[in-house]
Structure 1
Amino acid sequence: MASVGGDAKKSLTQWLREKGFDEEAIGRMSKRCRNLPNLDAGEASGVWDYLLNDVKIEQRKLRYVVTKCPKVLTMSVNDKLVPTVQCLTTLQAKPGEIAQAIVKFPPILFHSVEEKLCPLLAFFQTLAISEKQLAKLLMVNPRLISYSIQAKFSQTVDFLVGLGIDREVMIGKILTKEPYIMGYSIDKRLRPTAEFLKSAVGLQGSYLQRVIMNFPSILSRDVDKTLRPNLVFLQSAGFSKDQIMKLVAGYPPVLIKSIKHCLEPRVKFLVEEMGRDKGEVVDYPQFFHHGLKRSLEYRHKILKQMNSRCSLSEMLDCNQKKFAMKFGLIPVA
């Protein structure tokens, strides 16, 4: 750690200016942290040097951390910062991951990680989430450390169980796949979205469970801003309710893809250029996953030149090399 002797003689404002903070930013930081103006520049320098040199936070990102959470500069390096970083390291988190986690959620440094981790580990182990997986969850979504087990985690798990998701087998996999789901309000986001999927889309029982397990982030999407407009488009395109249900069950992202840049041009190409019935995508909803120019247009052109016709899955459910081999464009190895 760098010596603080030289910096101790400087005013904190002068020191902040040297680190690249302008007057406006310093003013905002002082309002956010009332103790900041009384802080010794040498103490602030010790925190800065530790986060920069030991934790390896890039300087521009460190400025962002301090601007967003100036209280960081008031922390004790040896009594707080070092133990917190060491505790995260024991979870098999790599130094670079810890730096990223701090940048994503600077308040992670204020929580008693040691006191939080044991209860968190015990809770997540009941969901078949290992210590290594928990470390990954925290590095992806460090805000998890601030949530209450009873008020947040348990209620979200109970909500998912209520949808028919197996607690011991599948919920851990869902959380590992979508760590941010824990941050959403059950009443304001998760439940309204689940009700929309059940009532408007028609997903029930195993269909609903499969969608949530395969694409859990769909529960965090806003119904009126994202899901409903896509449903309305599919209805206007001529898909029946049963067909839409099968489309969503087979390829849940169809409800969040851009209408303008994805759904509309692909449906138009399918009907007008490929001369196929829209119903064909119900049997192969991954159609909406494939690139329009690099995959759909190219392969359709090849098949048209060969006067060959096949199902959408035969045409698309393989990489370029296998497609070429399948239709004799290159010899089979």
Structure 2
Amino acid sequence: MPSLSLSTLTHSLSHPLSTTMPPAAGAIALHSSLCTISSDKPSSPLRSPSIHVSPKPKSLLQNHPLYTPTHTKLSLEFKEKILCLEVMGVDAGKALSQNPDLRTATMESIHSIISFLLSKGLQEKDLPRIFGMCPKILTSDIKTDLNPVFDFILSELKVPENSFRRVVNKCPRLLTSSVKDQLRPCLVYLRRLGFKDLGALAYQDSVLLVSNVENTLIPKLKFLETLGLSKDEVRSMVLRCPALLTFSIENNFQPKYEFFAGEMGRKLEELKEFPQYFAFSLENRIKPRHMEVVQSGIALALPVMLKSTDEEFRELVKQGGG
């Protein structure tokens, strides 16, 4: 296997190393790699008792293609860090690019983060996806960043500890969000809007909690009002279809409404009754099905036209709309 120049990664921070070493299939490899890297610092009290830290073998990297004697300016720990990220299944280049603080993070601190997350019920197999999506977690402060989030999930979302894993896997960004500045204000706003089911917010719509109230949620509600909907009607629509609060105004609401009101010539009342319209692909679902309906000369209610399977839709067209 040809050697990959480590400077390519460290200078550009964009070249994935997976072509040199495939991601580990599970966390046995994760911990075997991390836990064979020792530190001069004392072991963290947060470290799980089941995790064994053994002396660092000199051959950890020296026989690996990533390790080249020409890159003497890079510390061994930095090289170990890159290799361990890749062993975890995390694209090291992407992670370092998105979170430059990883350059100076110690293996000890990264190990403590992993041990802390495992103590909260996450499983080793969850970590590659979580760190891949949010590499900032790897340099978070356990006391000031992570613990408050888990306290919020427990005390304010009323999620039992044995369900932490489900919530975090649904929305890893929760772990990079400030409780004071982001999560709590958003929860308060959503509850005022009418979201009463904390379970639904925690397990299904948790992405709403990491949205910005002033810059993301409110502008979407106001745009829907410009279509001729009242505040109560908009509120009713988002409560029935919370995903509306995740859609882009420019890339979703505007083009889909223009097609709805223009080409389709449908009435606003139908959107009130079926806000899920905005969840369907304009190019792959809405347009082609509308064209078939027009060409067939039949009339189909909006939900029937869009929710039916391809087979059901063809049968409806064949039968003239039923």
- Please give the range of the TM-score, normalised by the shorter of the 2 chains: 0.5 to 0.7
TM, length-normalised to structure 1:
0.65
Contact 2:96 2:103 in 1 (8 A): yes
- Cα deviation, residue 130, structure 1: 0.8
- 1:303 match: 293
Higher helix share: 1
> 2:317 corresponds to which residue?
327
TM-superposed CA distance for 1:318, in Å, is 4.5
1:98 corresponds to: 92
Deviation at 1:242, TM superposition (A): 5.1
Q: How far 1:131 moved relative to its partner?
A: 0.8
Are 2:13 and 2:94, in contact at CA under 8 Å, matched by a contact in 1? no
CA contact (8 A) 1:211 1:252 kept: no
Alpha-carbon distance in 1 for matches of 2:180, 2:134: 21
1:156 Cα offset (Å): 1.1
- For 1:257, the equivalent position in structure 2 comes to 247
The answer on 1:247 being equivalent to 2:237 is yes
Q: How does 1:80-229 map to 2 (within 5 A)?
A: 80-89=77-86, 92-93=88-89, 97-117=91-111, 119-168=112-161, 170-199=163-192, 201-204=193-196, 206=197, 208-229=198-219
Q: Which has the larger radius of gyration?
A: 1
Contact 1:127–1:167, Cα closer than 8 Å, also in 2? no
Aligned to 2:75: 77
Q: Residue 105 of structure 1: CA displacement?
A: 2.0
Instruction: Map Cα deviations across residues 168-208 of structure 1 (whole Å, 9 max, x no partner).
Output: 35442332233223222222222222222121x2212x1x5
Tell me which amino acid in the other structure corresponds to 1:101.
A
CA–CA distance in 2 between the matches of 1:241 and 1:260?
Answer: 21
Q: In structure 2, give the amino acid aligned to 1:93.
A: G
C-alpha deviation, 1:268, in angstroms: 4.8
Secondary structure class of the residue paired with 1:308: coil
For each residue in 1:40-68, what CA deviation from the matched residue of structure 2 results, as whole angstroms up to 9, or x when unmatched?
xxxxxxxx95354xxxx2864469xxxxx
- Larger RCO: 1 or 2 (CA < 8 Å, sep 6+): 2
TM-score of the pair, normalised by structure 2: 0.67
Which runs of 5 or more structure 2 residues have no equivalent in the other structure? 16-70
Match of 2:276 among 281, 286, 293: 286
8 Å CA contact 1:211–1:249 kept in 2: the answer is no
Residue 127 of structure 1: how far off its partner (Å): 4.1
CA distance in 1, matches of 2:109, 2:223: 49
Moved more, 234-243 or 130-139: 234-243
Change (3 A) 1:312 1:144: same
Distance in structure 2 (CA, Å) of the matches to 1:284 and 1:262:
15
* SS of residue in 2 equivalent to 1:203: coil
Structure 1: gaps of 5 or more residues:
1-47, 64-72
Please tell me whether residue 50 in structure 1 is matched to residue 6 in structure 2. yes
Classify the secondary structure of the residue corresponding to 1:327: helix
Quick check: 1:189–1:220 contact (8 Å CA) kept in 2? Answer: yes
Give the whole-Å Cα distance in 2 for the aligned partners of 1:248 and 1:292. 20
Contact 2:14 2:93 in 1 (8 A): no
Aligned in 2, Cα 1:75/1:263: closer, same or farther, shift over 3 Å? same
The alpha-carbon distance between structure 1 residues 226 and 278, as it changes in their structure 2 partners (threshold 3 A), is same
Amino acid at match of 1:178: C
Equivalent position amino acid for 2:304 in 1: E
2-structure distance, mates of 1:265, 1:132: 40
Q: Percent of aligned pairs with the same residue? A: 23
Counterpart Cα distance in 2 of 1:162 and 1:282: 35
Task: Call closer, same or farther: CA 1:164–1:105 in 2, change over 3 Å.
Answer: closer
User: In 2 relative to 1, CA 245–168 (structure 1 residues): closer, same or farther, beyond 3 Å?
Assistant: farther
* Secondary structure at the counterpart of residue 268 of structure 2: coil
Partner Cα separation in structure 1 for residue 153 and residue 272 of structure 2: 27
